[in-house]
Amino acid sequence: MSAVAAHFATDYQDARQKFCAAAAASGGRFRSYRNPTLGPDGGQLFMDTVRFGDDDAPNMLVLMAATHGVEGFCGSGAMVNWLRSGGPAKLPKGTGALLIHGVNPHGFAWIRRVNEDNVDLNRNFVDHAKPHPRNDGYAEIAAALNPPAWTETALAKAQQVLDSYAQKHGAFGLQGAITGGQYTHKDGIFFGGHKPTWSNRTIRAVIRNELGHAKRIGCIDFHTGLGPFGHGEIIGLGAPGQPAFTRQQAWYGDELTSPEGGTSTSAIVVGVVIDAFPQEAPDAEFTGIALEYGTYPVPEVLDAVRRDNWLHHHGDVKSAQGKEMKAYVQERFYPAGAKWAELVWARADEVIGKAVKGLNS
């Protein structure tokens, strides 16, 4: 195994141990926030943060891992490689860093994208005091996405419904209906929740505690599942032409993509975690992106999401079928083998460099 791949983990506890050890060796200021649930091994779960730089550093780099639980292996490995390669010591004067590991520790430990409430955190950061965003397309296909039985007959019947929707609305229309987020089916996929989750409340506290003095914040939220194998797509936030998006373009150049502009592999999504930063640190100029790494074809990735949802609502996680499904889910969001890990770190190193340069431009 290569040195780079060795910094990627086998499970949540391994990831946390590697992150904590690398953070300690780098001399950062460490804090932990305990999640109220336990992992499949009965172990405690935490959102961990480590901060580098002066308390009043005007420029702050923020790296986030495990917004979507199982996708945390990617961001965790990138963070540990950054720490072990001397990233904190290379930061320019006046620039600090905040690493947030295990944004959704429950999903990370249980190999799920969602949290302990079956909530997709990147759909949860809406204003829950107002009417939730509508997704009529999801309502049409909800039953097909969450069949009561995982059998050939049930799946074939469900696929007919999904194929029919795609014929009417196109393949990307189907992807949008499925992945855009929904607030009506709490046992469904891409559910945004009806109130702020533990992770929502906790990360807002982290922002207030750690970034209150920042003048400029540059954030990278690591994700997996969309795009070519091992490629890290730089997904911009906001619509082209808006000041924040223009700033993202200045930092990241022509590689920046936009769901609103139709140039991204991602559908338009509302209520993402990154929205919390300008809300909780309103005096700072905020420039945030998602770094999305490709794994397997989209139909396989969506199949993994459906399998996991079915397993936790209708199946038995400890059964042979359950273990097989978990292995399928993990592979679709965290491909085994050193090659993918090496591609992840090479791209992360490049993009982090662009963020640091942007913060100091």
Percent pLDDT > 90 in the chain is 94
Q: What is the pLDDT of residues 51-101, one digit of tens each?
A: 999 999 999 999 999 999 999 999 999 999 999 999 999 999 999 999 999
- Tokens at residue 130, please? 């107002």
Edge-to-edge strand order for the sheet containing 216-229? 29-38, 44-52, 95-101, 59-65, 216-229, 285-294, 232-236
In this prediction, residue 238 has a pLDDT band, given cuts at 50, 70 and 90, of confident
In this prediction, residue 172 has a pLDDT band, given cuts at 50, 70 and 90, of confident
In this prediction, residue 1 has a pLDDT band, given cuts at 50, 70 and 90, of confident
Find the range with the poorest average confidence among 35-49, 254-268, 291-305, 346-360. 254-268
Percent pLDDT > 70 in the chain is 100
- pTM here is 0.97
- Tokens at residue 215, please? 């003048």
239, pLDDT greater than 90? no
The per-residue pLDDT of the chain, averaged, comes to 96
CB neighbours (10 Å) of residue 235? 24
Rounded CA-CA distance 75/63 in Å is 8
In this prediction, residue 205 has a pLDDT band, given cuts at 50, 70 and 90, of very high
Give pLDDT, residue 360: 97
For the chain, the C-alpha Rg in angstroms (whole number) is 19
Place of tokens 């947030």: 100
CB neighbours (10 Å) of residue 24? 12
Among candidate residues 6, 5, 61, 72, the one with its CA nearest the CA of residue 35: 72
Strand ranges, E, within the chain = 29-38, 44-52, 59-65, 95-101, 216-229, 232-236, 285-294
Query: How would DSSP label each residue in 151-214?
Result: SHHHHHHHHHHHHHHHHHH-HHHHHHHHHS-BSS-TTSSSB--SS--HHHHHHHHHHHHHSTT-
Place of tokens 């999903």: 107
Is residue 110 within 8 A of residue 40, CB to CB? The reply is yes
Rounded CA-CA distance 288/15 in Å is 24
267, pLDDT greater than 90? no
